Amino acid sequence: MTARPERKLPGLLLLAAAGWGCALILAVPPWQAPDEPTHFVYIRAQRGGGDFDPARLEEEIIRSMDGYRWWELVGARRPAVLPGRFFDAPFLRAAPSQMRKNPRLYYLLASRVLFLPGGASLEGGLYLLRFFSLGLTLLSAAAAWAAVSRVFPERELALGAASAVLVPQYLLIGTSVSVEPAINLCSALFFLELLGTLEAGPTLRRVLGLGAAYALGLMVSYKFLVLLPVVPPALACAGRSRFPGAAWRRAAAGALLAAGIFWGLAAVDPRSLGLAVARLRELYDTVFSWGAASGSLPGGYWNWFNARVFESFWIRYGWSAFPLPPDYYRALRIVCLGALAGLACAWFRDRFRGVSRGIALAAGYALAVTAGFYLFWGPREAETSAQGRHLFMAMPAWGILLAAGLGGLWPERKRLVGAAIFAGMLLLDAAALFGYIIPTFS
């Protein structure tokens, strides 16, 4: 008895992600991913040890960065005298530390990796952490596969949708020393729980799972705050409720969920609660001063910002310093516009034939992440803000929308569309790696 070909698809996806991930880990020189040095210091601080001195570590890292042509590769002038601290280093000054910016959970877990053989040395530890990130990214890919399989149960478009995890920038960030792979994993799990709740209704197990996934996300990053608006509509639309006809019970379930998350965080990890609330306040202030801030932006700012976000979503490697030639982005724009058109076609033609709620959730999820990103980072008028990686939290949702949209253009050839997306991603990865990343860094 031979296995159905669909059963091999997740393995194929994970194999591709693992392969490209390993290649990127080796091809990208140390410290050539956004904020790698500062994340590394935070992780190393959690590893502890009586001799740990952040100032000495920063000095050591700066020397190592210099050895790997860091200044030249980020486009900054090499200082005549190497600075001793990140704050005094050109370019790093903008965000010289991750401490107190993100909760500790990820950094605490990652610091355990540094106890492995080779973890004590600077570069050895860095590469171990990159492989740790790859592990998280592969788990994200598995969660993404589980999610897209729920939305596309017949699996025709599942491979195409899950191929979103092969977006080159996603793999670049997903193999760097950063909290982002952990955020992406938690977000994929939360999305999976939401999909499950949408299918099964707000059962106790689902509500608890949803709460646990959300609390875990907040313990990793404040970015999960932007996902909060997705929960009430998802609970409201959840089907086959175990509490038939009682809307107030769903509201109570939502309130209990929120209270439970709050109480749980207060009990287990209050610092992450504090950080989340402080960021919520910042978001609140940003929203209410958005008009004034956006009013003072220079003309053409949003065009520049949107283009930069689009590019860095697909690929701008290094410290966002190296884009691919414009033709790549033109082609990708056409693909994305095609997916949008396909979504519209599918909506008007057959209302997605029973998968609409999953796609609606994906759209809501992507919208929440995008809105949060634009509200929070949009009007900051800084080059470091315009980074598409902040949208990776919704990567499974983006994949679902891309596959559903392109599948909507050719409803009779969905399997082919799924395979084409997968192949397209592999081609893009190959072009980026062999055509640009390796030549740049070699």
Partner 1 sequence: MKARTVPIALVLTALAVWGALAYRPPLIGGGPVGRIYDIGAFGWWYARAAWSREGWARTPDPVLAARAAWHRPGMARELLGVPPGDLPALARRYFSLGLSAEAAELFTAAAARDPSFAASAAAYLAALEDWNRVLETAAALRGPAGAYWRGRALEETADPAIALEELSRVGEGPFRADAAARSGTLCERGGDRERSLAFYRRALELDPLDRCALEGLARIGDGPEAAAAARTLGFFSRSLPLRVAVGDRFLLLGADLPPGPMPAGARSRIALTLLGWSPGPEGSEVLPLAGMISEAGTFPWYQGGEAFSPPGPGALREVNLEWVWPLEVFPGDVDLGVAFESLPGRERLPASAGRGGYVGLGRLCLDPAWTPSPAAASEVEACGPGAARLNRAVFLGPGDRIRWEFPVPVRARGLAVISSVRSRGPGRAGDRVGTVGIETAAGPAAEVPLRLGRETAGTTEGPASGVPVSGIRQGSGPRGLYDYRTSVRFPEPMEIAAVNVENVSRASGLKIADLVLLDGAAPGPGR
Phi/psi at 322 (5° precision): -120, 105
Residue 285 binds to partner 1 (criterion: CB under 8 A): yes
Eight-state DSSP code of residue 92: G
Among residues 140, 262, 241, 135, the alpha carbon closest in space to that of 190 is found at 140
Among residues 366, 374, 395, the alpha carbon closest in space to that of 173 is found at 395
In the list 26, 94, 331, 427, the residue contacting partner 1 (rule: CB under 8 A) is: 94
Residue 34 binds to partner 1 (criterion: CB under 8 A): no
Residue 252 binds to partner 1 (criterion: CB under 8 A): no
Q: Smaller CB distance to partner 1: residue 380 or 413?
A: 380
Residue 379 binds to partner 1 (criterion: CB under 8 A): yes
Distance CA 313, CA 362 (A): 18
Distance CA 185, CA 315 (A): 20
Please identify, among the stretches 197-205, 347-355, 367-375, 377-385, the one whose residues bind partner 1 according to the rule CB under 8 A: 377-385
Residues near 42 by beta carbon (within 8 Å), at least 6 away in sequence = 97, 98, 99, 102, 107
Distance CA 312, CA 197 (A): 33
Q: Smaller CB distance to partner 1: residue 385 or 440?
A: 385
In the list 25, 129, 185, 275, the residue contacting partner 1 (rule: CB under 8 A) is: 275
Q: How far is the CB of 290 from partner 1 (least distance, A)?
A: 11
Q: How far is the CB of 288 from partner 1 (least distance, A)?
A: 11
Please identify, among the stretches 59-67, 113-121, 363-371, 376-384, the one whose residues bind partner 1 according to the rule CB under 8 A: 376-384
Please identify, among the stretches 190-198, 211-219, 280-288, 352-360, the one whose residues bind partner 1 according to the rule CB under 8 A: 280-288
Residue 80 binds to partner 1 (criterion: CB under 8 A): no
Distance CA 257, CA 418 (A): 37
Residue 382 binds to partner 1 (criterion: CB under 8 A): yes
Residue 289 binds to partner 1 (criterion: CB under 8 A): yes
Q: Smaller CB distance to partner 1: residue 118 or 270?
A: 270
For residues 164-193, which are near partner 1 according to CB under 8 A? none
Residues near 227 by beta carbon (within 8 Å), at least 6 away in sequence = 187, 190, 214, 217, 365, 368, 369, 393
In the list 281, 330, 333, 349, the residue contacting partner 1 (rule: CB under 8 A) is: 281
In contact, 369 and 394? CB cutoff 8 Å: yes
Backbone torsion region of residue 275, taken as left when φ is above 0, otherwise alpha when ψ lies between -120 and 50, otherwise beta: alpha
In the list 14, 290, 381, 413, the residue contacting partner 1 (rule: CB under 8 A) is: 381
In the list 6, 68, 82, 101, the residue contacting partner 1 (rule: CB under 8 A) is: 101
For residues 291-320, which are near partner 1 according to CB under 8 A? 293, 296
In contact, 378 and 385? CB cutoff 8 Å: yes
Residue type at 159 in one-letter notation: L
Q: Smaller CB distance to partner 1: residue 302 or 434?
A: 302
Residue 266 binds to partner 1 (criterion: CB under 8 A): yes
Q: Helix (H, G, I), strand (E, B), or coil: what is residue 89? A: coil
Distance of CA 151 to CAs 107, 157, 211, 357, Å?
33, 9, 22, 8
Q: How far is the CB of 395 from partner 1 (least distance, A)?
A: 23
Q: How far is the CB of 7 from partner 1 (least distance, A)?
A: 45
Q: Smaller CB distance to partner 1: residue 210 or 218?
A: 218
Phi/psi at 323 (5° precision): -85, 165
In the list 93, 240, 330, 349, the residue contacting partner 1 (rule: CB under 8 A) is: 93
Q: How far is the CB of 417 from partner 1 (least distance, A)?
A: 40
Backbone torsion region of residue 75, taken as left when φ is above 0, otherwise alpha when ψ lies between -120 and 50, otherwise beta: left
* CA 359 from centre of chain: 19
Residues contributing to the site for partner 1 (CB under 8 A): 87, 93-96, 100-101, 262-263, 265-267, 270, 273-282, 285, 289, 293, 296, 379-385
